[in-house]
A and B are shown apart, each in its own frame.
Chain A
Amino acid sequence: MLIEVDNVTHIYNDENNVTALKDINLDIDKGEFIGIVGHTGSGKSTLVQLFNGLIIPSSGTVKVNSKNISSEKRNLKETRRHVGLVFQYPEHQLFEESVYKDIAFGPKNLGLDEAEIENRVKEVMELVGLGYSEFKDRSPFNLSGGQQRRVAIAGVLALKPEVLVLDEPSAGLDPQGRKRLADLLKYLYEKLDMTIILISHRMEEIAELASRVIVMHQGKIVLDGSPKEVFANEKKLHKLALDLPQITEILHRLKEKGLNLETEIFSISKASDEIIKALRSH
């Protein structure tokens, strides 16, 4: 098991003493693509910050590759080599004078030699679609928002983590930027066998990409299964005021109106074909 979360409860130690996580038990296998959804305040971001040791839980244990990272004696450097975390609006953390230096910052801190660092920077820039010679010397601050975000993601990928955790990576991107990001995540998952954990409010994105969906509500995991299984729980999701993917909502509503159709289809064109088939036989 890659990540094991056992009986974790976390209470933030500030004036409000918010209980962010309650009795969480969760196993994540190598090679999974996990989508995490839930309202702001449901505990999603707290949960993923456990995975690379940013937060030590109030009680319970978190293990990565069987090593306990939930005690004060944890080896953070080691953990963060395994688990790379891309925060919300990661471009706000760019600080170097060139794209190259910004991406090289992490590998440098790992103590890698100059040739290896250069190889890694080249490799990850190509991965995120920023041509090496065109962008390496440019200031990250003169790039577009979408490009800045790709620099920030490249900086995490340059650490070659086994697990990539991303917190709302598509927020504020336009459709083209979102598609590019989705293609990158698909590539990392399918071709490079990375384990991906994606937090998103966009149900479309989760349904398209994830192999397993986790729904959080008030610090607890309330649903956990394949996209088909989770999005079949229409009533429960509506009760939590969470949206279904829009296409799923349309299929469910048409079925209620008496159309005989399959509702577990997430591609718009395939779903539309299903609607056409149902209408013609109606």
Chain B
Amino acid sequence: MSLIKIDGVDFSYQTDSSERPALQNINLQIEAGDFAVIIGGNGSGKSTLAKLLNVLLVPTNGDIIVDGLNTKNPDNTWKVRQKVGMVFQNPDNQLVASIVEDDVAFGPENLGIPSDQIRQRVDNSLEMVGMAGFQKFAPHKLSGGQKQRVAIAGVIAMEPDCIVLDEPTAMLDPQGRKEVMETIEYLNKEKGITIVHITHFMEEAVAADKVIVMNQGEIIQQGKPRSIFRLVDKLKEVNLDIPVAVEVAEYLRKNDIAVDDILTIDELVNSIC
């Protein structure tokens, strides 16, 4: 059984006067242990989909089943949220406490975890995101990348099966983006946490097991990164960034130069030289 099963989901915002629903006919399965990356431009519906996974929204039509629990059943809301943690875009809007350890403890405290175990969970979580030793720091003194990692630690402390990250790197500088991506990949590969990473940076999809491309409320493509990145023209059409190396490779192929399916600058250079 898939950890998350999205079955024929439509979603319309009630206040939205536009004709087009935010999501239409979404079918998607996320397996336990997956590193799934959802890419799409502004307005593609990717953030709406994230909110549905965490029961901040429920489908207008269709079902989302998380580990056997239908998100439409109000009795399941908190159980699902414990299984699926969420990290948002703006690092400044997610940290609520005046020191890091209180912030990370906020979730487990609300779950009613005994205090000796909370201590353990806070320390472990900070360790896992590379922020051990920052327990007593004030969040506003941290860099953007550090704040996002504390936000991720706060989610991990609730021991979810899956973390959904909605453009967690969009407001970070290159260094912060790198830190957050390394953290996410570590949690997935070493700790087995299922990751659903939403982004409009294509290069962040390079290490994914599964890439899902969204446009105008629909899934228009899903597959392994290499097969997705071959669709250069289609991805450009739906307003996505293509890694420069991939774009150069495609240009060379159009000029009858054989280039392997490459994703990175290293692979490009090795393929043509």
Contacts and interface: CB of A to CB of B under 8 A. Distances in A.
A242 B141 CA distance: 23
B269 A257 contact: yes
Interface stretch (A70-78, A170-178, A224-232): A170-178
Nearest to A245: B244
Nearest to B89: A172
Interface in B214-243: 236, 239-241, 243
B3 interface: no
B248 to A, nearest CB: 5
B42 A276 contact: no
Contact of A268 (B41, B43, B144, B251): B251
Interface string B27-42: 0000000000000011
B14 interface: no
Contacts, number: 81
A268 B248 contact: yes
A201 B172 CA distance: 10
A146 interface: yes
A243 B174 contact: yes
A69 to B, nearest CB: 29
Interface in A114-157: 144-146
A89 B143 CA distance: 17
Contact of A172 (B43, B170, B176): B170
B238 to A, nearest CB: 10
A144 B43 contact: yes
Given A247-B248, A258-B273, A259-B273, A175 B243 contact: no
Contact of A175 (B174, B241, B272): B241
B97 interface: no
Interface stretch (A46-54, A184-192, A248-256): A248-256
Q: What is the interface residue range for chain A against chain B?
A: 20 to 34
B52 interface: no
B265 A174 contact: no
Interface in A163-213: 171-177, 201, 204
Q: Which of B170, B175, B244, B255 has the most CB of A within 10 A?
A: B244
Contact of B251 (A144, A246, A254, A269): A269
B252 A250 contact: no
Contacts of A253: 265, 269
B171 interface: yes
The secondary-structure label for the interface of chain A is: helix
B243 A40 contact: no
A157 to B, nearest CB: 22
Given A176-B41, A253-B269, A254-B273, A39 B175 contact: yes
B239 A176 contact: yes
Interface in A248-282: 249-250, 253-254, 257-259, 268-269, 271-272, 275-276, 279
B102 interface: no
Contact of B42 (A146, A241, A249): A146
B132 interface: no
A257 B273 contact: yes
Contact of A250 (B170, B236, B248): B248
Contact of B244 (A241, A254, A268): A268
Contacts of B200: 174-175
B248 A271 contact: yes
Given A258-B273, A275-B272, A172 B171 contact: yes
B69 to A, nearest CB: 33
B175 A272 contact: no
Contact of A279 (B43, B170, B251, B257): B257
B179 to A, nearest CB: 12
Interface string B160-202: 0000000100110111100000000000000000000000100
A39 B268 CA distance: 27
Among B89, B170, B248, B252: residue with most chain A CB under 10 A:
B248
B42 A144 contact: yes
Nearest to B239: A176
Contacts of A144: 42-43
7 contacts: A144-B42, A174-B41, A175-B200, A175-B241, A201-B173, A241-B175, A279-B252
Given A145-B42, A250-B244, A250-B265, 10 more contacts: A39-B173, A174-B200, A175-B240, A175-B241, A204-B244, A243-B174, A250-B245, A259-B273, A269-B251, A272-B255
